A and B are shown apart, each in its own frame.
Chain A
Amino acid sequence: SQQGEEDPQALSIQEGENATMNCSYKTSINNLQWYRQNSGRGLVHLILIRSNEREKHSGRLRVTLDTSKKSSSLLITASRAADTASYFCATPYTGGFKTIFGAGTRLFVKA
Chain B
Amino acid sequence: DTEVTQTPKHLVMGMTNKKSLKCEQHMGHRAMYWYKQKAKKPPELMFVYSYEKLSINESVPSRFSPECPNSSLLNLHLHALQPEDSALYLCASSQEGLRTSGSSNTGELFFGEGSRLTVL
Tally of chain A residues near chain B (CB < 8 A): 26
Query: What 0/1 readout, one digit per residue, does chain B (85-113) give for beta carbons within 8 Å of chain A?
Result: 00010101010101000111111111111
Q: Which A residues contact B (CB, under 8 angstroms)?
A: 30-31, 33, 35, 40-45, 48, 88, 90, 92, 94-104, 106
Which applies to chain A's interface (DSSP): helix, strand, loop or mixed? strand
Do A92 and B106 form a contact, CB below 8 Å, given A43-B43, A98-B48? yes
Which applies to chain B's interface (DSSP): helix, strand, loop or mixed? loop
Which listed residue, A33, A41, A88, A100, touches B113 by the CB 8 Å rule? Answer: A41
Do A88 and B42 form a contact, CB below 8 Å, given A41-B114, A42-B112, A43-B90? yes
Q: Which B residues contact A (CB, under 8 angstroms)?
A: 2, 4, 31, 40-45, 48, 50, 55-56, 88, 90, 92, 94, 96, 98, 102-114, 116
Which listed residue, A45, A97, A101, touches B56 by the CB 8 Å rule? Answer: A97
The answer to whether B55 touches A96 (Cβ under 8 A) is no
Docked pose: A69 CA to B43 CA in angstroms: 24
Docked pose: A42 CA to B114 CA in angstroms: 6
Residue of B nearest to A94 (CB): B56
> Which residues from A are CB-within-8-Å of B102?
95
The answer to whether A95 touches B104 (Cβ under 8 A) is yes
10 example contacts (A-B, Cβ-Cβ < 8 A) are as follows A30-B106, A31-B107, A40-B114, A43-B109, A45-B108, A48-B108, A88-B43, A90-B109, A95-B102, A95-B104
> Which residues from A are CB-within-8-Å of B90?
42-43
